[in-house]
Amino acid sequence: MRKFPDYYKSLETFLDFALPVLEVVSVPEEETKFEEKVRDINDRPILRAAIKAEVDILITGDKDFLESELTVPLILTAAEFLQLKE
């Protein structure tokens, strides 16, 4: 919190909303054909777990995901996600 002290209240609000509905998903060992679209191989297990969990939206600030042009799951920044809620 030292790095972003002004965001503490926003983080707290997010966690209050998210924690009751979070689900822990193990990362499948088998790769998917979609992984090649994500440049950083270290990010690929995250995509694999998201696909296994059948998430609709993956919220991230990671450019390797954002520039992947994947549509399933839909990949959005936090700001883009918040705009959907308006």
- Is 50 exposed, middle or buried, given 0-12, 13-18 or 19+ CB atoms closer than 10 A? buried
pLDDT at 52: 93
pLDDT tens digits along 5-58: 778 888 888 889 888 988 889 999 999 888 999 999 999 999 999 999 999 999
pTM of structure: 0.72
C-alpha dist (Å) from residue 85 to 37, 71, 79, 82:
27, 19, 10, 5
C-alpha dist (Å) from residue 77 to 17, 42, 51, 64:
18, 19, 18, 12
Give the pLDDT band (50/70/90) at residue 1. low
Q: What are phi and psi of 37, to 5 degrees?
A: -75, -15
